[in-house]
Amino acid sequence: MWGLMKVLKFLRAYIKSMRLYYAFVTGITGWIGMAFYEYIAQSPFQTVELVPTTEKKAVVLIMLFLSWGINQIINDYLGLKEDRVNAPHRPMVTGELDPGKALALTGALLTSTLLITYTYLEPIALIPAILGIVLNVVYEYAKGHGIFGNIVFGLMISTCTAFGFLSAGPTASPYFTSSRVSVLILVAVMNGLMTFYTYFKDYEGDKAADKRTIIVLLGIEKSRYLAAISAFLPAGIFTLFYFNHFIEARVNNMFIVLAGLTLFLELWTGYLYFKNPEGDRTYYSLVANFRACICGQATLIALFNTELAMLLFLVSYMFVGFLFDLHTDPKS
């Protein structure tokens, strides 16, 4: 009985450390790739692509939605120094979660993911999967070198889009076209911007740990202006790509509606961090930040599946807020 209680306590602390409101970041990002693959498989452009079965899609999505939390354990372990200041209530900091056991479970889960990818999905999808794991480790060190940390983070999350696409079924070469690369860049930019906003709440701890993030380098006052200006970045880059024909898919009414809502969320996020770059409101502004990023990614799906995009936009907006409200402690 006591052994079972210890296991349950460990799992509770592990799940808490996963911070499941982030699951939509990797989940929806990967869904972009899988939905695009399915679109090709159903189109006249299909060559070797096959519409994935429901079971296969379920396996891919489960791994994508859990990938953030599983990798977060590694991130928490590598970031213990600054977390003692920024998030002293996190389970690994308080001792509630044993680092060795947590890393062992994460290692087992990551190994299982790679084995499933190789044996049941598509072996080529191992490339973005392994790259994502490596970039997660690199990120903890890149974070201390200004904008390089944001770039690495954005690239790390974009590997989920590549994984979603490559794991869905057989793919004809070339794997990367101008449209596909443009979408990967947009995903990287949205997530790099998202993590930039998260640095505001970590300013004091990052500074104490000598993590020279872009906010530590610029200081709060300059960073708050950058927060407001940067909110236009995803829309600006999409416009640049689209009107220069890097993105072959044409916009539709659903995309325009969702893009308008996303732009509002992005500008609102920029305003919140401009107004409240420090204090408790900085933490609670994260929900707007996550919604802007994740809903923006759902919007990209509207280029080739309008109904799915609308559903994911609404579900993401609702559940990101719901899951975030379950983690009301700014210090955890």
200 within domain boundaries: yes
294 within domain boundaries: yes
CA–CA distance, 310 with 316 (Å, rounded to integer): 10
CA–CA distance, 99 with 269 (Å, rounded to integer): 34
Residue with tokens 């209680």: 5
Q: Which residues contact 133 (CB under 8 A, 6 or more apart)?
A: 71, 110
| Token pair in block for residue 5 | 């209680």
115 within domain boundaries: yes
Give the helix/strand (H/E) hosting 166.
Answer: helix 147-167
151 within domain boundaries: yes
Segment among 20-34, 80-94, 130-144 with least mean pLDDT: 80-94
139 closest CA partner among 71, 219, 218: 71
Dihedral over Cα of 261, 30, 309, 256: its sign: positive
What's residue 124's pLDDT? 95
Q: What is the mean pLDDT of the chain?
A: 90
**What are the tens digits of pLDDT across the range 210-224?**
888 999 999 999 999
What's residue 305's pLDDT? 93
Q: Count other C-beta atoms under 10 Å from residue 9's C-beta.
A: 13
Q: Is the pLDDT of residue 239 over 80?
A: yes
User: What amino acid occupies position 271?
Assistant: Y
User: What amino acid occupies position 73?
Assistant: I
SS3 state of residue 281: helix
7 within domain boundaries: no
198 within domain boundaries: yes
Confidence of residue 82 (pLDDT cuts 50, 70, 90): confident
Specify the number of domains making up the chain.
Answer: 1
φ, ψ (nearest 5 deg) of residue 212: -85, 70
**What are the tens digits of pLDDT across the range 166-224?**
999 998 877 778 888 999 999 999 999 999 999 998 888 888 878 889 999 999 999 99
CA–CA distance, 86 with 88 (Å, rounded to integer): 6
Query: For the chain, what is the total number of helices (H) and then of strands (E)?
Result: 17, 0
CA–CA distance, 10 with 1 (Å, rounded to integer): 14
Cβ atoms of residues 17 and 102 within 8 Å = yes
In 176-315, beta strands by DSSP E: none
The share of the chain scoring above pLDDT 90, in percent, equals 61
DSSP 171: -
DSSP 22: G
What's residue 140's pLDDT? 84
In which domain, by residue range, is 254 found?
Answer: 20-325
User: What amino acid occupies position 170?
Assistant: P
Dihedral over Cα of 313, 315, 320, 321: its sign: positive
Q: What is the mean pLDDT of residues 63-79?
A: 89
What's residue 214's pLDDT? 92
CA–CA distance, 179 with 241 (Å, rounded to integer): 9
What's residue 264's pLDDT? 97
Q: HSE of 315 in the Cβ direction (CA atoms, 13 Å)?
A: 13
What's residue 52's pLDDT? 93
Cβ atoms of residues 272 and 224 within 8 Å = no
113 within domain boundaries: yes
User: What amino acid occupies position 313?
Assistant: F
121 closest CA partner among 167, 86, 178, 75: 167
Segment among 24-28, 128-132, 276-280 with least mean pLDDT: 276-280
215 within domain boundaries: yes
Q: Count other C-beta atoms under 10 Å from residue 272's C-beta.
A: 23
Q: Is the pLDDT of residue 280 over 90?
A: no
What's residue 56's pLDDT? 95
Q: Is the pLDDT of residue 329 over 70?
A: no
Residue 85 vs residue 98, higher pLDDT: 98
CA distances 277 to 37, 186, 283, Å, are 40, 25, 9
What's residue 72's pLDDT? 87
CA–CA distance, 265 with 252 (Å, rounded to integer): 20
